[in-house]
Amino acid sequence: MDVHLRDLRYFVAVAEELSFTRAATDRLFISQPALSKQIRRLEVELRTPLFVRDRRTVALTPAGSALLPHARRLIEEWEQARRAVADAASAEDAVLTVGFQTSIGRGLIPAVTDAMDRLLPGGRLRFRQVSWADPTAGLANGDVDVAIAWLPVPDGGFSWKVISREDRWVALPSGHRLTALEVVPFAELTGEPFVALPPEAGALRTFWLAEDHREAPARIAAVAETADETFEAVASGLGVVLLAAGNAEIYRRDDLVYRPVGGLSPSELAVVWRTGDDREAVRVFTEACCLCTDAAASAVRAAAARRARSAC
């Protein structure tokens, strides 16, 4: 069995962090048991241990130290090859894959498409929905070229520009006691069961639970990997969930009620790309998103106004 590039990425992450937990959660966005299983498979394939482990420490074996520079070089060479192929493909037909986790809406994509037609004739956009379990919206593993994603994204290797700041609202099942309020103070929500993002979402999960505004951790009633799963869980009465003001309009449903939440900082929607990816199509897309920020903000304000009127 040949060693896959993914195995080398996993090995390098553990070797640089000297921690399976940090490598899994902070860099690879997978579970620690899954990472340990892959490293064991690599060691079996190479017929030698790569790490010395005990309950507190992780260290490279001599074989692991010998592998590390070669693994880094192979990964870098593959990245160079991937960029060369992407550049060649872009030169022939500028197709940009855009990752997203919630519907983008806000009038942004039509405006961006028009701007790209002017700035990059022949450029085309392709969209890919990514699970909440990947807080980079597909950027980390190369599935997408750019992403429209909610902050925060993981530190290291990513750049972004905010394109919309929106108040946080709450989605409630119809008939919930708090639907009688026009604005729900966050203190009224701290005892409610919540529908949460997967643990792999890390800081993004923490943000949408508003953990920094709580004295005690949120009570998790269900975990959802997509927006549709989230709202089905809320409609079923399993719990409530925070969402951006613009998404209250996009995900309008008869069995859900949306209300603004008082006392929380706003959410931020951003265009995100891999730091150092200086392809023209990426640059043009990010510039177009920034040029169209006003269109997105106007759409959000209009949606919020409609929601406010319907709540009265």
The pLDDT assigned to 303 comes to: 47
CATH of the domain at 181: 3.40.190.10
Q: Are residues 18 and 31 in the same domain?
A: yes
87 pLDDT exceeds 60?
yes
pLDDT at 282: 87
Do the domain assignments include residue 157? no
Q: For the chain, give the longest Cα–Cα distance.
A: 70
Q: Are residues 182 and 144 in the same domain?
A: no
Same domain, 81 and 216: no
**Tens digit of each residue's pLDDT (9 = 90 or more) over 277-287:** 888 888 888 88
Q: Which structure tokens are listed for 8?
A: 């080398």
Total residue count of the chain as it appears in this document: 312
Same domain, 170 and 236: yes
Say if residue 261 is in the same domain as residue 276.
no
**Does the N-terminal peptide bond of residue 152 adopt cis geometry, omega within 30 degrees of 0?**
yes
Q: What is the pLDDT of residues 292-303, one digit of tens each?
A: 665 555 554 554
| Statement: residue 46 has pLDDT above 70 | yes
Residue 155 belongs to a domain:
no
Contacts of residue 251, defined as CB under 8 A and 6 or more positions apart, other chains included, come to: 102, 103, 171, 227, 231, 243
Same structural domain, 100 and 79: no
User: Using CB atoms within 10 A of its CB, is residue 155 exposed (0-12), middle (13-18) or buried (19+)?
Assistant: exposed
Please report the pLDDT score of residue 152 as a whole number: 92
Both 192 and 227 in one domain: the answer is: yes
pLDDT for the residue 293: 63
Residue 209: pLDDT band by 50, 70, 90 thresholds? Answer: very high
State the pLDDT at residue 115: 73
Domain assignment of residue 65, given as a range: 5-85
For residues 312 and 61, the model is more confident at 61
What is the separation, in whole angstroms, between the first and last Cα of the chain?
Answer: 65
> 84, 44 in Cβ contact below 8 A?
no
Q: What is the mean pLDDT of residues 63-88?
A: 85
Least confident of 71-80, 101-110, 149-158, 216-225: 101-110
Phi/psi region, residue 106 (left: phi>0; alpha: psi -120 to 50; beta: rest), is: left
Partnered with residue 127 across adjacent β-strands are: 98
User: How much is the average pLDDT of 171-181?
Assistant: 92
CATH number at residue 9: 1.10.10.10
